[in-house]
Structure 1
Amino acid sequence: MIEIMAKTTKTRILILSDTHGEKFPESHYPQIKADVAIHCGDMTEQSKLSEFHITLDLLKTLDAPLKLVIAGNHDFTLDLPIFKQKIAQAGLEGEPGLVAREYGQYGEVRQLFDEAREFHNIHLLDEGMHKFILANGATLSVYASPYTASPTADWGYQFLPGDSHNFVIDQGTDIAITHSPPEGVLDRSGAKKRIGIPDVFQAVEHARPKLHCFGHVHEGWGAKLVAWRDFDPSQKASYFTAIDNGQSMSLDTLASFRRGKFDDEDTAAAKSARLAGFESQGCRPTSHCVGDDHPIVSGKHTLFVNASISGDPAMPFHLPWLVDLDLPLQELK
């Protein structure tokens, strides 16, 4: 039997997250044109109207004809029940003018994104599946979810760790965009504790998209190309059981660029020079197309990317990721 391979085209995807109302430093601005730009949430620090305007201005300047955005826990004004709850907790129910000046009226931020979609092709994605036809002729299927787990669940799009949330990713999905990392992949906090969500990992393992991008855990910045094991679908997947670590590879983490405890001067200088090379481009590029050293095979690999921009005093700004993937071409009728 002859297998007919679907036609694909190389597609360039710029990924960032957790900008928290900040602009790109001029020295770090991404210089490369992309087919799609993705923001994985936490567009703001305090969900203020001014911060949303800053992020929208940032997105408008990116050289990509399509921009996809999800909310994060800091973007709570987009989660109206939580927004109203926070106003009540602050005792500001009787100060609608003050609230509107700082945070906008209920629904005003979403209206900003409705206008941005119409005039700038910036799409705020609600939870679920979305499909796009790109300017390069590729089709793109995306799963989006802003939800994270929290011990208090009092910020936007959060649930308690003891509860579950149904992350439903269709088979054949190209890209999963979540704010939370999956448990076990690029999800270690500053305290070295894994704080990713098991349900996210299980959903991604079940669907095995080409790319899963996220943020939320700033210290988890990096990328890992995962090879999947042949796994019994009746069992509950975890990062212990479902990943073939012998065939997987870490592309970079923050440790790739920071001087380690046991690094000598030459090693530290090499790390610094390598980082400077990426900073001159304004991104960390990686390509996984047919003909590359590490092509992604559908159903066998997923590239995980934590694209948290926000850093710490040692490295206050992390680089966006620029990922090249093969995506299917739109079928001509």
Structure 2
Amino acid sequence: MSRIKTRILILSDTHNATPLKNESSHWSAFRPPLSKADVLLHCGDLTMVGLMHEYESTLEMLRGYDAPLKLVIAGNHDISLDEEYYARKGHYMQRLKEPDEDLPRRARELWTGEDAKQAGIQYLDEGTYNFTLSNGAKLRVYASPYQPEFCDWAFPYFRNQDRFNPPHQSTPNSVPITENPVPDFPAVDVMMTHGPPMGIRDEVDRGGHVGCPHLLRAARRCRPQLHCFGHIHEGWGAERVKWKEGDEVDAEWEKHVVNAGWIEIDEDKMVSDRAAVLDVSCESERPLEVGRETLMVNASIMTLTYKPWQGPFVVDLDLEKA
């Protein structure tokens, strides 16, 4: 099978910040110019509270990146892209006397309209997508902006609800609510979700894991080469996950992973490269074992205190030739 080495630039949780804010900060990796890539992935939280000027600023930032294709999903802070949530609580979160009922339509039109397309941006709702990249590779993506309810922000589901596995494969004792289930291996190369899976880069500063166990089970079924996300700012970093063989349905999330090894990041090199660069292609010292391993990346740019100081990730991996 012919494969093509492909460079992917990943960022999340920019919350309306841009690299230009760090232009003179030589100790921050999130500063211009960011790395050239074959495809850019933004895993949500484009804004602070889903205002139009925030979306416009983020779109303008993405326009300046050197990547012919830029895939974008929403996050829990992009409240006007969740129309149901916005109708319920949008005016309160944006400190308005009344909801701006037209904002969800305008926000969606911005991300799906001609201006975004000319910038190479494709906004992804929850589901599976296929792309042919300019380097000749085929990219298959599963995307979802949803995460377990978190301080009553947008795109939520309850923790006992399984959003990612079909009913016959759902977590025992959960409530299946799947609309767009994660497909089985080998249908997907990359999963991009806003929230993390349980136990992987999901620990909050006060202690405890807040990721989704159902998403972890779905990732085990899917076994993508790359699963990228954000949401938990203090979880920034990468892990190389080796999956347990078999497809049995276990309630305990720990049973799905044989080994999860944290990847050490050279911070000085990251600042110099303006990204944490990880090569898991066949040309690397340790190529990814496709079908047995997944590279998990939390690419939150913001720190816990909302400072845009954490570096994006650049991942080199092999994709099938289109």
Alpha-carbon displacement from aligned partner over 1:173-207 (angstroms, at most 9, x marks no partner): 00000001000111101112100001110000011
Alpha-carbon distance between aligned partners in 2 of 1:296 and 1:91, rounded to the nearest angstrom: 44
Q: Tell me which residue corresponds to 1:75.
A: 78
Alignment of 1:109-128 (within 5 A): 109-115=107-113, 116-128=115-127
Alpha-carbon distance between aligned partners in 1 of 2:91 and 2:140, rounded to the nearest angstrom: 39
Whether 1:222 aligns to 2:207 is no
Alpha-carbon distance between aligned partners in 1 of 2:307 and 2:56, rounded to the nearest angstrom: 25
Whether 1:243 aligns to 2:257 is yes
Alpha-carbon distance between aligned partners in 2 of 1:314 and 1:69, rounded to the nearest angstrom: 20
Q: Is the 8 A contact 1:201 1:238 kept in 2?
A: no
Q: Is the 8 A contact 2:17 2:308 kept in 1?
A: no
Q: Tell me which residue corresponds to 1:17.
A: 12
- For residue 277 of structure 1, report the CA deviation from its aligned partner: 2.4
Alpha-carbon distance between aligned partners in 1 of 2:59 and 2:252, rounded to the nearest angstrom: 36
The letter of the residue matching 1:22 is A
Distance 1:329 1:186, change over 3 A: same
**Structure 2 residue corresponding to 1:179, chosen from 194, 197, 208:** 194
Q: Greater Rg, structure 1 or structure 2?
A: 1
**Structure 2 residue corresponding to 1:281, chosen from 273, 281, 294:** 273
The letter of the residue matching 1:202 is R
- For residue 316 of structure 1, report the CA deviation from its aligned partner: 4.9
Alpha-carbon distance between aligned partners in 2 of 1:155 and 1:223, rounded to the nearest angstrom: 25
Alpha-carbon displacement from aligned partner over 1:137-183 (angstroms, at most 9, x marks no partner): 0000000000011166x421101223332352223200000001000
Q: Is the 8 A contact 2:42 2:72 kept in 1?
A: yes
Distance 1:89 1:282, change over 3 A: closer
TM-score with structure 2 setting the length: 0.85
Whether 1:207 aligns to 2:222 is yes
Alpha-carbon distance between aligned partners in 2 of 1:226 and 1:275, rounded to the nearest angstrom: 22
Task: Show structure 2 runs of 5+ residues with no match.
Answer: 26-30, 166-180
Distance 1:74 1:165, change over 3 A: same
Q: Is the 8 A contact 2:82 2:104 kept in 1?
A: no
Alpha-carbon distance between aligned partners in 2 of 1:37 and 1:190, rounded to the nearest angstrom: 28
**Structure 2 residue corresponding to 1:319, chosen from 311, 315, 319:** 311
Q: Is the 8 A contact 1:30 1:283 kept in 2?
A: no
Distance 1:30 1:250, change over 3 A: farther
Alpha-carbon distance between aligned partners in 2 of 1:106 and 1:313, rounded to the nearest angstrom: 28
Q: Is the 8 A contact 2:62 2:119 kept in 1?
A: no
Q: Tell me which residue corresponds to 1:48.
A: 51
TM-score with structure 1 setting the length: 0.83
Q: Tell me which residue corresponds to 2:182.
A: 169
The letter of the residue matching 1:11 is T
- For residue 302 of structure 1, report the CA deviation from its aligned partner: 0.3
- For residue 238 of structure 1, report the CA deviation from its aligned partner: 5.0
Considering only aligned residues, what root-mean-square deviation do their CA atoms show, in Å? 2.3
Q: Which moved more, 1:77-86 or 1:315-324?
A: 315-324
Q: Is the 8 A contact 1:202 1:237 kept in 2?
A: no
Alpha-carbon distance between aligned partners in 1 of 2:257 and 2:57, rounded to the nearest angstrom: 39
Q: Is the 8 A contact 2:91 2:98 kept in 1?
A: no
The alignment-based identity, stated in percent, is 38
- For residue 251 of structure 1, report the CA deviation from its aligned partner: 0.9
Q: Tell me which residue corresponds to 1:269.
A: none
Q: Is the 8 A contact 2:6 2:38 kept in 1?
A: yes
Aligned length: 296
The letter of the residue matching 1:53 is E
Distance 1:56 1:178, change over 3 A: same
Q: Tell me which residue corresponds to 1:261.
A: none
Alpha-carbon distance between aligned partners in 1 of 2:297 and 2:76, rounded to the nearest angstrom: 19
